[in-house]
Chain A
């Protein structure tokens, strides 16, 4: 394992931080709207939706950060894509299972939960793009 820190790690960590901040903001709005339209159930649903979006979108960035710990090794390309794509596949399986389990619960308003989730996903995407646009990654930086 190489001890180099690839340049992308800083970008991803910054993106994760801003994702958390923006998702927190969206969660507050979603909780207020959920409380207005569905009461206590709406509050819980909005919070769960925002947390799901943060965790599941964050896994991609976290998996790249983790996979880059193996940078410099002979098998790096294989390990990198196995971790990133394996994590991606696993994430979707867990997401579908979670969706099926949550849908039947009496303490969940599916509409509020998934609208909150979609709002948080779109917010995260906007933040990700903004972070990437502002990032400066030197050519020839470690990471290969």
Chain B
């Protein structure tokens, strides 16, 4: 009996791995933004701008992660 055998599409595992990084990234970006706004509400516009650029980068990783499966299996 091979207890390490897996069945199904391995790409689903790939998506799970691709989702970890952006999830942590967005969590940190948004959490720190909330922290910053709580400390200095007058900086909220600046912090929102930086938050948006942070989210843009992390979501780009997620998009590429999802898209990779379709490139390599086409």
Chain A residues engaging chain B, CB cutoff 8 angstroms: 6-8, 11-12, 53, 56-57, 60-61, 64, 68, 77, 81, 84-85, 88, 92, 95-96, 99, 103, 109-111, 113-115, 117-118, 121-122, 124-125, 128-129, 132, 135, 137-144
Q: Interface of chain A, helix or strand or loop or mixed?
A: helix
- Contact call B53/A144, Cβ cutoff below 8 A: no
| Min C-beta distance of A17 to chain B, whole Å | 15
Q: Of the candidates B30, B48, B53, B67, which one forms a contact with A128 in the assembled complex, judged by CB atoms under 8 Å apart?
A: B53
Number of B residues near A (Cβ < 8 Å) is: 29
Chain B residues engaging chain A, CB cutoff 8 angstroms: 26, 30, 34, 37, 41-46, 48-50, 52-53, 55-57, 59-60, 62-64, 66-68, 70-71, 74
Q: Which 4 residue pairs across A and B have the least CB separation, nearest first? A: A143-B45, A144-B41, A110-B74, A114-B67
